[in-house]
Structure 1
Amino acid sequence: MKKILEYIKPLYLRMLIGFLIKLAGTVMDLAIPWILAHMIDEVVPTGDRGAIFLWGIAMAACAVIALLGNVIANRRASAVSRDATRRIRHDLYEKIEHLSARQLDEVTIPSLISRLTTDTYHVNQTLGRIQRLGVRAPILLVGGIFVTMFLDIRLSLVLLATIPFLAAGVILISGKGITLYASVQQNVDGMIRTVRDSVTGIRVIRALSKGDYECARFQKDSERLSNSQIHADTVMAATDPMMQLVLNLGLTAVVVCGAYWVNQGVTKPGSIIAFLTYFTIILNAMMSVNKMFVMLSQATASANRIAEVMNLPEERPAGASIESPIKEGVVFDDVCFSYAQPANGYTLEHISFHLKKGQVLGVIGATGSGKTTLIQLLQRFYPVDSGAIYIEGKNINAMEEEKLHSLFGVAFQSDSFFIGTIYDNIDIGRGLPEEDILRAARCAQAEPFILDTEEGYRHPVHAKAANLSGGQKQRLLIARALAGKPNILILDDSSSALDYQTDAALRNAIRREYPDITVILVAQRVSSVRNADQILVLDEGRVAGLGFHEELMETCSLYQQIAKIQTGGEE
C-alpha cells in the first residue's frame, strides 16, 4: 500500500475537510438517542409542552445536519478516490507502455489488463469506503460506547465485555484476506488470458471446430475463479454472523440486566431505550468496520499487484558507450541472444553483417530460424546477451528509446488495426501531412482499392479490419510504415498475402519513391528477396549464408534447397 499512499498525499487537505464534515454529521447522529433519553426521563415527566417541542426541534436539527454532513462528505470522498485512482491508472498505463518486451513476457498481457482494470477498481472502491466509513464507523463505535458509559456505567460494562471477542474474531479472519484475494486476482488473470486467446482466435477456432474445447477451457478457468472467490468470500463473511451473535448476546444481556435494574429503581426507562439505540448504532459501526477490513484486504492485494508493476526497473542495456568504426548503415557485430534468462542455448548466435544506407537486406529461413527475433533486437525490444548493434555508427543502447524507434517504419504480417477510417489507420495519431499519407498509400499499392470505395480514404475500418481482405490489410500496414518517412523500413513477412505482380510493383515503388531508405525485408519467398543487395539466410539462429542471390545459389545449400522447392524443383 505504500505506493498507493504516495498518490493520496497530495489529497490530504481535501480528505481532512471531508473528515471534519463527516465528523460533524456523525456527532449529530450520536446526539439524537441522548436527546430522546433526556426527553423521556427528564422533560416528559414535567409536562412542559414547550420544552418537549424545543427538544423535538433540536432532534430534527441534528437529523438534518447529520444528513447534509454525510451527503457532502460522501460526495467529497467519491471525488478524492476518483482523482487518486485516475492518477494511479494513468501512471500504471504509462509504465506499461514503457515496459521492455522481456518484462511484458514475464508479467503477461492478461495480467496487466487485470491490474489496470479490476485491481485499480478495488483500490478506488476501498479509498471511497475508507473515507465514508473510516471516520463515521470508529466515531459511532467509540462515541456510542462513551455515551452509554455516561448514561449508565453498569450497562456499559455489559457492552464492553463483548468487544475483546469481536476484535479477536475480526483480526483473526481479516489477516487471511490478503492471501486469499491475491489468489483470486491471479485466477482473474488466467480467465482474461483464456478469453483474450479465444476472442482473438475465434476464426481459427471455428475453422477447426474447436468451439467445445475452448468452452471447456473457459469453464475450467471460470470454475477455478469462482471457487477461489467463494472461498475468500466465505472466510471473510464469517465475521458478520460472528459479530451479530456476540453483539446480540450482549444486547440480550443488556435487556435482562436493564429490566432488573429498572425494577430495582436504579436505572431509568429512557436510558434503556437510548441504550438499545446505541447498541444498534454500535452493532452497525462494528459491521462497517468489518466491511472495511474485508475491502482493505482485497485492496491491499490489488495494491501490491499494482506496485509490482510500477516498481519494475527501467531496463537499460549495458555497453552503450562503445561506438562502431563503421559510421554508415546498420551493423550487427557478433550478436547472441536468448529469450531464456539465464540463457539455455541461444535463439540467435554470432550474427554479423553490415547493411549500407539505402541498401535492401533480405532475411530468409525456415519457421523458427530467428528472423523476427533479429528485427526485434534491432528495435531494442530485447537487449542482446553479447555483441552489439549499431545504427550510423552509434550503439543502439546509447540512443533514447523514442529517438531510436522514430528511425523505423515497421509492417508486420499481422498487426493491429483500430476502429476509424483508412486515413486514420495509416496516420495512427501522428498528425502526418496528407501528401505523405497519399504518397505512402500509392507506393504500398493500396490506392487502387481505397479509391474503389465510396468514401475513399474516409472509408470506415471495423474492429480488427474485419471488412478488409488479407492483401488489403497488408498494403495498409506497409503504407503506415512508409508514411512517417523512416530511415529504416522493416517488412516482416508483410507481403505474404500479395500476389507476385503486386509484390514486385511494391518493391519497385519503394525503390523509386524512397531511394534513400534502408530496407530489411523478412520473407518466406525467394522471389521477394532475390533482388536484394544482400540476403541473410538463417538456420536455427545461425548464419547459413550471406550474399546476393546468384552467389547464394552457388555457395549456400539451404538457400538452394528453398529456391528449388519454391520453383517446383526436387528437394
Structure 2
Amino acid sequence: MNVNVFLRNVVCLVGSMLFMMTLSWRLSLITFILVPIIFVASKIFGTYYDYLSEKTQNNVAQSNDVAEEVISTMRTVRSFACENYEGDRFYQRLTDTLNVTRTKAIAYVGFLWVSELFQTFIVVAVLWYGGHLVLVGRLKSDLLVSFLLYQMQMADNLRQMGEVWTGLMQSVGASRKVFEYIDREPTIQHHGKLKPERLAGKIEFKNVHFAYPTRPQLPILRDLSFTAEVGQTVALVGPSGSGKSSCIALLENFYLANAGQILIDGVPIDEYEHHYIHQKIALVGQEPILFARSVAENIAYGCEVTEQDVVTSSQMANAHGFIVQTTQQYQTNVGEKGSQMSGGQKQRIAIARALVRQPAILLLDEATSALDTESESVVQEAISKNLEGKTVIMIAHRLSTVEKADKIIVINKGVVEQQGTHEELLRQPGTYATLVQRQMLGDHKNAPKAIKPSGESAIPVSPPHSTARSLLGTSFSQSASSFQSK
C-alpha cells in the first residue's frame, strides 16, 4: 500500500513540475529554490526518527523482559514480598517507553510544522512575485491561478511522500534488530557430512584449550587431555569453575575449542553431520527444560519415533508410572517450562527424552544434584539401569554417584590433575582425596552424636590427620565392599 501511494505521488509530482515549468519558469524557480532545504530537513528528521523508533522498540523489549521474568518467577517474588518493587521496576520501564514515544511524537509534529512553514513561505513568495508579473503584464492572471493549483497539487504530493518516508523510517528502526539477526552468520558452522552406520562412542580430548567468547582473557581449559573408552562410565570431578561443564558444552558442540581436538571414534566432532551427531549424543542437565506441550511431544522432541518408542523410553526412565496416573496420560500438557511437573518428574521425562534417541554417548551434567533424596533415588535408578553399552560422561559432586564410575577424572583449574578408579584415587594424596574428606567430614558432623556416659567424652581427641585418614579408610572400605558385591 505504501509503495502504491509513493509511486502515485511521484508520478503526480513530476507531472505538476512539468506543467509549472511550461506555465512560468520564473515562478517555478522561486518554488524549487526552497525544495532542497525541505529535502535536507526531511533527511535529518528521518535519521532522528529512525533512532527514536529503534530506541522505542528497545524500551518495549525491556518492559516485556521485566514482565516475563516476574511472571515466570512469581513464587520467588511472592516469597520475598517484592511485588511492589517489581511493579515499580515495570512502571519505570513503561515510563521510559512513554518518554521516548512522547519525544517521537513531538519530533513528528515539529517536522510537520517546519514543512508547512516552508510550504506557506513558498506560496506567499509565488503570490507576491506572480502578482508583480501580472501587474507588469508579463503573466496572465488565469495562468497564475493555474500555476497555484499545480503548486498546491505538488505540495500535497510532497506531504504524502513525506508520510511514507516517515513510516519507512519507523519500520526501518523497528526492524533493524530483526535484520541483524537474519544477517548474522552463526559462529559455529555445521559443514560436517559424516554419518556412519554405527557410532561406537569413544571420546578423546587432545590438548584442548578453551575460553568462553565473552571472556577470552580467562582460560577455562588448559591443555586438557583424557579418553573415555567405548561403554565406559567416566565421572568428571573437581572444584566449581574447574571446567567440567565446559567439557560437556564442547562435546555438545555449543562452542569451538580454541586449540586441540575433540574426537569421537577418532574423528573430529565437527566432521559429523549436525543432526546425526546430536542424535547420537544425548544430554541430561541439572535443570531439564520442558516445553509447554504434551509429555509425548517433549519425549519425542527432535526425532521421529513411534508412540511405542515413547512409552518404552518412559518405562526405562521410571516415568511411565506417574505419566499414566495423569488425566490425559501422555497427552498431558506439562505447562510452561514444565511447571505442572515436580523436579523428579521433569528429570525423568528428560532422561526418557535422551533414551528415546538410543544414543551412543550419554552426558549427565549434575542430573540429580537438585533433587530430594527420594527423587534422586528413583532418577539414579533410572540412569543406572540404562548405562549398558553407552559411553557415559557424568558430572556429580556426591560420592555415592561418583564412586560407581569406571574411571574418575579430576579436573582442577582446567587441567587433568588425577584419573583412576575411586579406590585408586583414595590411595593418592591430591584433590580427590581432599574432596572426599570434606564430604565425609560434612556427613560426620551432620550425623547425630551417640550419647556417652558422663565420664566419657562424646568426641574423641585425636590429631586432625588421623581423623581424616580414618574417614578415608571408612570410605574406602565401604566402596570396596560395594565393588565386591557388584
In the superposition, the TM-score normalised over structure 2's length comes to 0.77
Q: For 2:81 and 2:437, locate their aligned partners in 1 and report how far apart those are by CA, in whole Å.
A: 35
CA contact (8 A) 1:262 1:269 kept: no
1:567 aligned onto 2:443:
yes
Q: Which amino acid is the alignment partner of residue 352 of structure 2? A: A
Cα distance, 1:498–1:164 mapped onto 2, change above 3 Å: closer
Stretches of 4+ moved more than 6 A in 1?
256-265
Which position in structure 2 is the counterpart of 1:289?
A: 161
After superposition, residues 426-505 of structure 1 pair within 5 angstroms as 426-428=299-301, 430-500=303-373, 503-505=376-378
Q: For 1:446 and 1:566, locate their aligned partners in 2 and report how far apart those are by CA, in whole Å.
A: 33
Q: For 2:297 and 2:36, locate their aligned partners in 1 and report how far apart those are by CA, in whole Å.
A: 65
Q: Give, in angstroms, the shift of residue 250 of structure 1.
A: 3.0
RMSD: 3.5
Q: Which amino acid is the alignment partner of residue 406 of structure 2? A: D
Cα distance, 1:311–1:163 mapped onto 2, change above 3 Å: closer
Q: Give, in angstroms, the shift of residue 217 of structure 1.
A: 3.8
Q: Which amino acid is the alignment partner of residue 567 of structure 1? A: D
CA contact (8 A) 2:294 2:333 kept: yes
Q: Give, in angstroms, the shift of residue 286 of structure 1.
A: 1.5
Which position in structure 2 is the counterpart of 1:397?
A: 270
1:408 aligned onto 2:281:
yes
Q: Which amino acid is the alignment partner of residue 564 of structure 1? A: M
- Report which stretch shifted further, 450-459 or 503-512: 503-512
1:245 aligned onto 2:121:
no
Cα distance, 1:415–1:195 mapped onto 2, change above 3 Å: farther
Q: For 1:176 and 1:568, locate their aligned partners in 2 and report how far apart those are by CA, in whole Å.
A: 68
Which position in structure 2 is the counterpart of 1:144?
A: 16
In the TM superposition, what whole-angstrom CA distance separates every residue of 1:479-512 from its partner, at most 9, and x where no partner exists?
Answer: 1111111111112222235454554454454454
Which position in structure 2 is the counterpart of 1:39?
A: none
Cα distance, 1:157–1:444 mapped onto 2, change above 3 Å: same
Which position in structure 2 is the counterpart of 1:386?
A: 259
Q: Give, in angstroms, the shift of residue 541 of structure 1.
A: 3.7
CA contact (8 A) 2:344 2:376 kept: no
Cα distance, 1:235–1:144 mapped onto 2, change above 3 Å: same
Cα distance, 1:479–1:568 mapped onto 2, change above 3 Å: farther
Q: Which amino acid is the alignment partner of residue 202 of structure 1? A: M
Q: Which amino acid is the alignment partner of residue 137 of structure 1? A: N
Q: Which amino acid is the alignment partner of residue 435 of structure 2? A: Y
CA contact (8 A) 1:525 1:566 kept: no
In the TM superposition, what whole-angstrom CA distance separates every residue of 1:127-159 from its partner, at most 9, and x where no partner exists?
Answer: xx3x13331222222222333444566654553
Cα distance, 1:268–1:313 mapped onto 2, change above 3 Å: same
Q: For 2:79 and 2:47, locate their aligned partners in 1 and report how far apart those are by CA, in whole Å.
A: 49
Cα distance, 1:328–1:261 mapped onto 2, change above 3 Å: closer
Q: For 2:186 and 2:385, locate their aligned partners in 1 and report how far apart those are by CA, in whole Å.
A: 41
CA contact (8 A) 2:201 2:391 kept: no
After superposition, residues 252-401 of structure 1 pair within 5 angstroms as 252-254=124-126, 267=140, 272=145, 277-301=149-173, 305-315=177-187, 329-340=202-213, 343-401=216-274
Q: Give, in angstroms, the shift of residue 438 of structure 1.
A: 1.1
CA contact (8 A) 2:318 2:379 kept: yes
Q: For 2:24 and 2:122, locate their aligned partners in 1 and report how far apart those are by CA, in whole Å.
A: 15
In the superposition, the TM-score normalised over structure 1's length comes to 0.66
CA contact (8 A) 2:201 2:231 kept: no
In the TM superposition, what whole-angstrom CA distance separates every residue of 1:191-230 from its partner, at most 9, and x where no partner exists?
Answer: 4554454444333333333334434444444444444454
Q: Give, in angstroms, the shift of residue 381 of structure 1.
A: 0.8
- Report which stretch shifted further, 468-477 or 133-142: 133-142
Q: For 2:393 and 2:442, locate their aligned partners in 1 and report how far apart those are by CA, in whole Å.
A: 21
Cα distance, 1:419–1:446 mapped onto 2, change above 3 Å: same
Cα distance, 1:249–1:350 mapped onto 2, change above 3 Å: same
Q: SS in structure 1 opposite 2:444?
A: coil
CA contact (8 A) 1:436 1:484 kept: no
Q: For 1:137 and 1:284, locate their aligned partners in 2 and report how far apart those are by CA, in whole Å.
A: 9
Over the matched positions of the two proteins, sequence identity in percent amounts to 27
Q: SS in structure 2 opposite 1:419?
A: coil
Cα distance, 1:305–1:262 mapped onto 2, change above 3 Å: same
Q: For 1:202 and 1:385, locate their aligned partners in 2 and report how far apart those are by CA, in whole Å.
A: 40
Q: Give, in angstroms, the shift of residue 378 of structure 1.
A: 1.2
Which position in structure 2 is the counterpart of 1:418?
A: 291
Q: Give, in angstroms, the shift of residue 354 of structure 1.
A: 1.4
Q: SS in structure 2 opposite 1:568?
A: helix
Cα distance, 1:441–1:178 mapped onto 2, change above 3 Å: same
Q: Choose which of 81, 84, 88 in structure 2 pairs with 1:209.
A: 81
Q: For 1:463 and 1:501, locate their aligned partners in 2 and report how far apart those are by CA, in whole Å.
A: 25
Q: SS in structure 2 opposite 1:420?
A: coil
Q: SS in structure 2 opposite 1:524?
A: coil
Q: For 1:494 and 1:195, locate their aligned partners in 2 and report how far apart those are by CA, in whole Å.
A: 30
Q: SS in structure 1 opposite 2:389?
A: coil
Question: Unaligned regions of 5+ residues in structure 1, if any?
Answer: 1-73, 75-128, 321-326
Q: Give, in angstroms, the shift of residue 376 of structure 1.
A: 0.3
Judging by fraction of residues, say which structure has more helix. 1
Q: SS in structure 2 opposite 1:486?
A: coil
Q: For 2:413 and 2:106, locate their aligned partners in 1 and report how far apart those are by CA, in whole Å.
A: 53
Q: Give, in angstroms, the shift of residue 237 of structure 1.
A: 4.5
Question: Unaligned regions of 5+ residues in structure 2, if any?
Answer: 193-199, 447-467, 469-486
Which position in structure 1 is the counterpart of 2:41?
A: 169
1:558 aligned onto 2:431:
no
Q: Give, in angstroms, the shift of residue 418 of structure 1.
A: 2.0
Cα distance, 1:222–1:276 mapped onto 2, change above 3 Å: same
Q: SS in structure 1 opposite 2:256?
A: coil
Q: SS in structure 1 opposite 2:427?
A: helix
